[in-house]
Structure 1
Amino acid sequence: MMHPKLTPFVFVLIVCVTSTINAISQPLANEGSTNPQHWTTKALSENRDGVWVDPAYNPADSTQTIVVWFKDQYLEKADSFLEKTMEFKGRKRSELRSEMTTTLKAMSNTAFGKVAAPLKALEREGLVTGIKQHWIISGFSCTATPEGFEAIKNLEDVAYIFKKQAPVVSKGTNMGPEYLEHIPPSDFDPKAVESYPWNIEKIRAPEVWNEFGITGKGVLNVVHDSGFKLDIPPLASNIYTNKGEIPGNGIDDDGNGYIDDYHGYHFDEGRANLNEPNIRRATNIHGNLCTAMIVGTYATGTKKAIGVAPGAKWAPVIGIAHFEDAIEWAIEQGADTYSMSFSHPNLGEYKTHWRKILEQGTLCGVVFISGAGNFAAGPQFAPLPEQMRNPEDIPNAVLGVAGIGEDGERPKFSSQGPVVWNTAYYKDGQVNKPDFATINSKVPCVDPEGRLLNMASGNSLAGPHTAGIVSLMLSANPELLPWEIRAILKNTAQDIGIPGFDYQSGHGFINAYDAVKAVLNP
């Protein structure tokens, strides 16, 4: 069940009223900030008591879960990400991933090593519990009493303390099995395809399969969601398997801290089992619905192709409260894309934590993608500039994607930009969003048995369409850097609003054929 504050982007079995995409407002002159004031790590660490503290932290509460940043971070300033993308121009993605992972881990180990002993002492005194070191940022999470919190503020090189986001996905019942004993071989063959739904045709994926022979092979998509049923025919044959793990033996065979993480992991519950075989209601298969849009092969019992990149792999993860762990796991498993069809409102300063992690994760070679949200109309309406929320509002490091229907029109629900970044750390001001548009309205989707019987609308679908396109691009050239992919998509997007960027469709409608052709013929 979805927590009310964690909003999935799909409306299942809803017919949405649409409005013309030409009703748009004037954009900013560029994609960047209009108020480029940046606080460095040093500036923040010189605040009261030498440590910046999230205003959401309440010292009157008995215990609170926090995440701590050390002073030294790889991206040391608010504008360091763009500087690094220019510095890394021309690098190979595989080499950069290895280099960045090693560097980030070394930084974290150095800083954490200075505080490990006093943290353990606080733990023995009962002032701190659940200590977890992170390397995707140099820091750690824990639950602390007010006395423990004050002690943490005095630890060496502590610079920021954020109040951590709470878990939002309840533990499912009747779960399992946690892994598939038999994974059928993929029988996807473009020549055997008898048909495909309108969205796959409009995204021009079949043209890529047939003309270039590219179906996404060699690409891993991590799907951060909930509502997964692992054994349905469109998804079972291309589910990811962690070769370092022996499934079901109750042992952490690969030594990464996660027992039996063979297909994926539920980080908020600390278990490998995230399979819900008894799902029957369409509203509960959000994860499967999005995954099938990315990598689905054939709808059950047919030769109807339903995914943009049916030759690619996928891995399910759950873990909002432990998203640092989920992203670290994805990087170490070799993830190429990371799809996030959810939205967080009212995160306050904590959105800074998300952004820094996704920036550094992008430098590790992962393409982060999120739908734009469904908050421009209806009961969940939000005023501008708050229609695009976290993580889709993160500039540069996250592709925030809106969409259109089969008629080429923008549905009224589809969230618009711009967004505003005005946290204590990120002072971009007004930022141009969304980045692009794909498909988001009245799309045929899989039911709990993998049949193409549901009809869905929502920007939950825009993100997966984009992940599928990116998968085909990376299958064509695995060494493309995330910002190079963004540039190619920008250059090949079809302008569907006023000339240039607009706040409804971003840089325009993207399609698989033009993007892959540009990769093959730069």
Structure 2
Amino acid sequence: MRIGRTVTLLLIILYSFSGRASNDFIVKLKASAKVNQLDAHFKAGGMFKVQEMLSGSLGLFLVRGHMLLDQKSALVLLKDDENLAYVQVDHKVSPRASDPLLARQWGLSSTYGVNAPQAWQYTTGGQTLDGNPVAVGIVDGGMDLAHEDLVGNVWTNQSEVAGNHIDDDGNGFVDDVNGWNAYDDNGEVPSHYHGTHVAGIVGAQGNNGKGVSGVNWNVGLIPVAGSSGQTSVVIKAYDYLLTLKKRFLATGGEQGALVVAINSSFGIDYAKCDQNDYPVWNDMFDTLGENGILSIAATINDDVNVDEDGDVPTACSSPYVVAVTNTTVDGVKYRRAGYGSTSIDLGAPGTSILSTVPGNNYGEATGTSMATPQVTGAVALAYSVLSSDQIITRPSETALLVKEALLGTVTPQEDLNGRTVSGGRLNLEKFISRLR
């Protein structure tokens, strides 16, 4: 008797309700019952609360259980209530993309994929919580801007007029309507197989009834041609994206673009980034990071320890670099993919990855080049659950916070333990959930 009185008093003092979806229930009121009677009945018992009417025609209501009441016990109590015709849990419903080739994208949803469908119940990307469009830089050989599954996500510089040979927005780049060509110093982005494939992994339009889905259903893809040849060209490509982001920060989002990540699926094999021969790389990555841009980089396509043998950019020590290796459909590191306990941050699916290729086509490719845009896409998706105020006022801190969450939520993988910083592969669901 004393125990019962104590519990009752405790329930009265702690009268609050859990926000967990698992403690919400859909109930149908019997025709003979009245909703005000049900509400009074629940309040008297102290265990349930009517949240809202879902359908007057069907007599359906959303009811929330007390935070101290587990789901199983709550169901028993509700099913015994004489006022109710039936009760069911308010189950979560995940978005189901209509893209016809989604079933072949093992990296998104298979046992050893990134758990994308589970993450999409929180967000499918596109913009920050308060409506600023999120953008990603794709530094590569180019991109098919007219591809049916990319065209809706290609970034557009609204302040630039196409083809008038004038720098309308004064950003230093003439006619940069959809990106930039750092090879030729103009706004004519060439079509390119590798770059188109990479872009589709990051952000092929999701749920549009065409082809595949990217990690983001919606995101601003900014193609910058400039990934091969000389380091000087790569630096110009990075600088274009840096310029866009600095203008965004300086104008409170009125100009430029909210570039949150740059995908770099290229590099210099066996190069020692932190030696005196390569100072420009860390300098650029640090500056990008100080402006809130994470540099997501693909490691070497060879089974070597880049901590010892070197690689640019994945062995660069800038804290704003996220270095990625390649994992397979069997949940192991691909046999020809670099590793390093201090240099390589995590793994991601990069073997037999289906994505967009030029000419409204789709094809598979394998390599760290395919693993890296999975992570680039994940970072972009993460920014869609953050506020612009945080991003604008604390850009570098926010970038490092996102990186910390990324590495702290991986799925452990045995052969990556001791061979990567995190010891695991990308888990998109846990990553997004951590930041919400």
Shorter-normalised TM range = 0.5 to 0.7
Change (3 A) 1:204 1:216: farther
Which whole-Å CA distance do the structure 2 matches of 1:434 and 1:275 have between them?
31
Does the 8 A contact of 1:208 with 1:215 survive in 2? no
Does the 8 A contact of 2:143 with 2:195 survive in 1? yes
Offset from partner CA, 1:435-467 (integer Å, 9 cap, x none): 011111121232322333x22110001110001
The residue type equivalent to 2:351 in the other structure is: S
Change (3 A) 1:235 1:384: closer
2:298 counterpart residue number: 371
Could you tell me which of 108, 118, 126 is aligned with 1:200?
108
1:494 counterpart residue number: 411
Does the 8 A contact of 2:154 with 2:178 survive in 1? yes
- The runs of at least 4 consecutive aligned structure 1 residues that moved more than 3 Å come to 189-195, 301-305, 345-348, 382-388, 504-507
2:264 counterpart residue number: 340
The residue type equivalent to 1:243 in the other structure is: Q
Does the 8 A contact of 2:161 with 2:168 survive in 1? yes
1:512 positional shift: 1.2
Which whole-Å CA distance do the structure 2 matches of 1:191 and 1:290 have between them?
20
Could you tell me which of 146, 151, 154 is aligned with 1:231?
146
Compute the RMSD of aligned alpha carbons.
2.4
Match of 1:339, SS state, is strand
1:384 positional shift: 5.1
2:223 counterpart residue number: 316
Offset from partner CA, 1:310-355 (integer Å, 9 cap, x none): 2111011123414153343342332111111001244763421110
Which whole-Å CA distance do the structure 2 matches of 1:226 and 1:517 have between them?
34
The residue type equivalent to 1:444 in the other structure is: L
Offset from partner CA, 1:5-43 (integer Å, 9 cap, x none): xxxxxxxxxxxxxxxxxxxxxxxxxxxxxxxxxxxxxxx
1:398 counterpart residue number: 321
Higher helix share: 2
Give runs of aligned pairs for residues 460-471 of structure 1, distance below 5 A: 460-471=369-380
Match of 2:401, SS state, is helix
Match of 2:153, SS state, is coil
Which whole-Å CA distance do the structure 1 matches of 2:404 and 2:309 have between them?
25
1:130 counterpart residue number: none
Which whole-Å CA distance do the structure 1 matches of 2:167 and 2:150 have between them?
25
Offset from partner CA, 1:379-419 (integer Å, 9 cap, x none): xxx6754555111212322000112111112111101225x
Structure 2, gaps ≥5 residues long? 1-94, 128-132, 248-255, 392-397
Match of 2:149, SS state, is helix
Which whole-Å CA distance do the structure 2 matches of 1:329 and 1:192 have between them?
36
1:439 counterpart residue number: 349
1:326 counterpart residue number: 240
Give runs of aligned pairs for residues 117-266 of structure 1, distance below 5 A: 190=96, 192-193=98-99, 196=102, 197-201=105-109, 202-209=113-120, 211-217=121-127, 218-266=133-181
Structure 1 stretch displaced more, 457-466 or 193-202: 193-202
Change (3 A) 1:305 1:510: same
Does the 8 A contact of 1:339 with 1:467 survive in 2? yes
Which whole-Å CA distance do the structure 2 matches of 1:505 and 1:496 have between them?
12
Change (3 A) 1:363 1:245: same
Does the 8 A contact of 1:387 with 1:417 survive in 2? no
Change (3 A) 1:190 1:329: farther
Which whole-Å CA distance do the structure 2 matches of 1:259 and 1:199 have between them?
38
1:450 counterpart residue number: 360
1:267 positional shift: 2.1
Match of 2:302, SS state, is coil
2:60 counterpart residue number: none
Which whole-Å CA distance do the structure 1 matches of 2:359 and 2:308 have between them?
37
1:497 positional shift: 2.1
Match of 2:313, SS state, is coil
Which whole-Å CA distance do the structure 1 matches of 2:324 and 2:354 have between them?
19
Which whole-Å CA distance do the structure 2 matches of 1:449 and 1:298 have between them?
18
Higher RCO (CA < 8 A, seq sep 6+) = 1
The reply on whether 1:473 has 2:382 as its aligned counterpart is yes
Change (3 A) 1:341 1:191: closer
Match of 1:476, SS state, is coil
Which whole-Å CA distance do the structure 1 matches of 2:376 and 2:169 have between them?
28
1:104 counterpart residue number: none
Number of corresponding residues: 303
The residue type equivalent to 2:295 in the other structure is: F
Does the 8 A contact of 2:199 with 2:373 survive in 1? yes
Which whole-Å CA distance do the structure 2 matches of 1:252 and 1:384 have between them?
42
Which whole-Å CA distance do the structure 2 matches of 1:191 and 1:455 have between them?
20
1:494 positional shift: 1.6
Which whole-Å CA distance do the structure 2 matches of 1:216 and 1:190 have between them?
17
Change (3 A) 1:216 1:508: farther
Change (3 A) 1:470 1:337: same
Which whole-Å CA distance do the structure 1 matches of 2:185 and 2:406 have between them?
37
Offset from partner CA, 1:49-104 (integer Å, 9 cap, x none): xxxxxxxxxxxxxxxxxxxxxxxxxxxxxxxxxxxxxxxxxxxxxxxxxxxxxxxx
Does the 8 A contact of 2:266 with 2:297 survive in 1? yes
Match of 1:409, SS state, is coil
2:400 counterpart residue number: 483
Structure 1 stretch displaced more, 189-198 or 350-359: 189-198
Which whole-Å CA distance do the structure 2 matches of 1:271 and 1:374 have between them?
31
Structure 1 stretch displaced more, 304-313 or 213-222: 213-222
Offset from partner CA, 1:102-160 (integer Å, 9 cap, x none): xxxxxxxxxxxxxxxxxxxxxxxxxxxxxxxxxxxxxxxxxxxxxxxxxxxxxxxxxxx
% identical equivalent positions:
21
Which whole-Å CA distance do the structure 2 matches of 1:245 and 1:509 have between them?
40
Match of 2:168, SS state, is coil
1:368 positional shift: 1.1
Give runs of aligned pairs for residues 4-153 of structure 1, distance below 5 A: none
Structure 1, gaps ≥5 residues long? 1-188, 277-283, 377-381, 419-431
Does the 8 A contact of 2:205 with 2:217 survive in 1? yes
Q: Normalising to structure 2: TM-score of the pair?
A: 0.64
Which whole-Å CA distance do the structure 2 matches of 1:253 and 1:386 have between them?
48
1:192 positional shift: 3.8
The reply on whether 1:519 has 2:435 as its aligned counterpart is yes
Change (3 A) 1:274 1:194: closer
